[in-house]
Each structure stands twice: as C-alpha cells, then as structure tokens.
Amino acid sequence: MTAKLINGKEIARKKRIQVANEVKKLKEMNVTPGLAVILVGDNQASRTYVRNKQKACHETGMHSELIEYEDTITEQELIKKITELNEDPSIHGILVQLPLPKHINEIKMIEAISPEKDVDGFHPINIGRMMTGQDTLLPCTPYGVLEMIAEIDIDITGKHAVIVGRSNIVGKPAGQLLLNKNATVTYCHSKTKDLKAYTKQADILIAAVGKANLITSDHIKEGAVVIDVGMNRNEEGKLCGDVAFDEVKEKASYITPVPGGVGPMTITMLLFNTLKAAKNTLNKE
C-alpha cells in the first residue's frame, strides 16, 4: 500500500476561492472583512508568515493592515494599540504575530484582544467555547487539520486519534476538536513512555512536536491516516516534518507532505475566521 497524498495546497486553493466569493457578497452589503496584524521586532520567519498572510488577504479581496513596532515597544503601548483596534469597526480580526520579545507577556497580549476579533483562536474565552462545543473562532492549524480530514471523507466518529504533542496552539486544541467529532483521543508528549505502544493504535495520527523524522513506519499501524504538522530542517537544511515521509507513506492510507500539507491550510483558516468575524458583525446589527 502506498498512501494517498492529502494535498494541503490544493485544498487551500479551493477554500480560498470559496472565501473570495463570500468576501464579494459581503462587499455588496458594504462590509469588507479587515485583518490587522501586529509585528514586533525583526524575526525573519515571522516576517515571512506575515507577508504570506497579507498576500492571502489581498488575493481574497480582504482589507489587511500591517502594524510594525521595534522590539523596544512596551507592553502598555502594545495593549493601547490592541484596544484601539478592538474599537475599530473596519477591523474584524486582530492577530499579534508570535513569538514576542522576552519583556512582553504573550498571554497578556492575547487576552487584550477582543474574543470576537481573535482570529488566531487563542483567547481563553474562545478556547473555553471550543472545549464546550460552542460555535467560536477556532485555532487555525487544528481547524485546518480537521478540514483536511473532512476533505478525504473519513468519518471521525469512534476512531482512535493519537496526538503527539501538547502545545496550546496545535496539540491540545487538535485533540479537543477531534473529541468534539466523537473520536477517542490519546495525547502523547515528551514524557510519554513507550510512544510506539500508543501511536500504533492510532487510526488518525497527528504529529506536532517539531522533531524531524520522529515518527517512523514502526510507529504506525497499517492504513492509518497520518497528519504531519511538524516544520523542521533536516541535516541538509531541507524542510521536513515530524514524520519520516518516505517510509511511513508505504504503510499509511493517507498522509500529508511537508511542505505543502498543513502549512497552506493554517493561513486559509485564518481567512475563514476573519470572514466569520466580519459576518458576525452583520448578525449583531
């Protein structure tokens, strides 16, 4: 068996066409979805992410604003700007690009964003709504993972999903979203003893630890769906995931590549969240 590829690039392309069509309809009602991105300092990886986010906004007809600060900015100045954006009716989504300089408390900044404009889905109120199965703005990467599984028409109900990684951004919410879809969920992490004993039981395996080629064919059972969220550089400096792709693809039923898998979906779901936040303002009127 050779796994079928879950092509994140292609799924993202289709979904962005859908977003563009919906943005067009909103514009006819005099609402242009607006996203504000705050970038602090000069982290090159962050700059690339932000550029890709802005490009995606532009391509779908959304309004986007980039607000840049030196890494000497204070917490108070940053909170003041976030508060202004919370009150700006032309901005429907706000995100503070992480990581932030050490002197700025990331949690404080996330909590300063209005939950209705938290398009990253990181605010504790949105996390709480997700935990209790309410309609909310979902964290973009796990949301993208769920959409990829939906695209291959796998019924999640009753499946055993194993998540390797427990970050607040990917691992924990991915497990919760799968639980909300009636999967049986197991979390594994750096302190898990005998990782293979758990991963071999997985019908759906999500690797999100940031360790190159951690998951080998020995870790998975025949026919598993393998979603690789890892983004690493191998010894040759080539981009790779947490999954040893070439060997695992011979055993899995479906697998995501790196690059071109989960990555393009993350920004696409950010667009979905911004669109949703803009629509929600119409519903309030």
Residue 3 has what DSSP assignment? P
Say which of 15, 117, 118, 120 is annotated catalytic. Answer: 120
Q: Which residues make up each annotated binding site?
A: 165-167
Say which of 15, 97, 249, 276 is annotated catalytic. Answer: 97
| Cα–Cα–Cα angle for 262, 68, 105, rounded to 5 degrees | 75
Residue 240 has what DSSP assignment? E
Cα gap 44→37, rounded to integer Å: 15
Q: Which of 285, 281, 268 is nearest to 138 (CA)?
A: 268
284 has catalytic annotation: no
Tokens 């990181």 belong to residue: 122
Cα gap 189→48, rounded to integer Å: 29
Q: Which residues make up each annotated binding site for NADP(+)?
A: 165-167
Full DSSP string of 66-120: EEEE-TT--HHHHHHHHHHHHT-TT--EEEEPSP--TTS-HHHHHHHS-GGGBTT
The four Cα atoms 110, 115, 116, 119 give a dihedral, to 10 degrees, of 40
Q: How far is C-alpha 28 from the chain's CA centre?
A: 29
Say which of 15, 53, 159, 251 is annotated catalytic. Answer: 53
76 has catalytic annotation: no
Residue 108 CB partners (closer than 8 Å, separation 6+): 75, 79
120 has catalytic annotation: yes
Expressed in angstroms, the distance from the first to the final Cα of the chain is 54
Q: Which residues are catalytic?
A: 53, 97, 120
